[in-house]
Amino acid sequence: MNDKPVKIRSPWTRAILPNLGGLAVLGLIGLMLWGFAAFISRGDTATSDRLAPSILRVGSVTNVADEIVDKGPILFPGLGTTDGERTIVLDHTGDDPAVGWVVYYAYPAGGDGSCVVEQVRDSDGKGTRRFTDCDGNTIDVSELSPPPRGVNPVVENKRLLSIDLSGVTSNAAL
């Protein structure tokens, strides 16, 4: 019996075999990731809560209301888009943190979703209730576009704030 390991002597073979081994490992990793994704989606191509949750948990109504008083309405950019078309703005008015919540799209009412607004900052760098659109016009938060039906703030037990996004995550809205 010959117990000596086989030595690869050809330079070409010594260069190619490690590369082929590396490609095989990368292929197995890719196949494994595809398997995980297929398992998570369970073959369903429709949007689901597993892949795109329809509820965005924001936090305590008191903390978020205080944040809006201090720094202005809160922008939630993107929501799964690269162009900011579904960027939303969360606003609160009034003294009761459990009521007075409003959600807007981050573009002017009656305008185009490609004209995403920017929040105007004060001299201290804090956000205000004013926004500048793509044409340079300054508008109030109340002049932003309302989102579609099914996108609205939800207060649970007068303490926890969420945003219901079922209007943009359901198959009907896609």
Q: Tens digit of pLDDT for each residue in 129-172?
A: 999 988 888 999 999 998 888 888 999 998 999 998 877 655 44
- Percent residues over pLDDT 70 in the chain: 84
List Cα–Cα distances, 131 to 33, 65, 107, 122, in angstroms.
42, 19, 9, 11
Q: Does the pLDDT of residue 174 top 50, yes or no?
A: no
The mean predicted confidence, pLDDT, of the chain is 83
List Cα–Cα distances, 132 to 5, 33, 106, 143, 171, in angstroms.
72, 43, 10, 11, 32
Q: Quick one: pLDDT at residue 85?
A: 59
Q: Quick one: pLDDT at residue 56?
A: 84
Higher pLDDT, 54 or 72: 72
pLDDT tens per residue, range 37-56: 888 777 655 555 555 667 88
pLDDT tens per residue, range 59-70: 999 999 999 999
Nearest-angstrom CA–CA distance, 123 and 138: 16
Band (pLDDT 50/70/90 cuts) for residue 23 is: very high
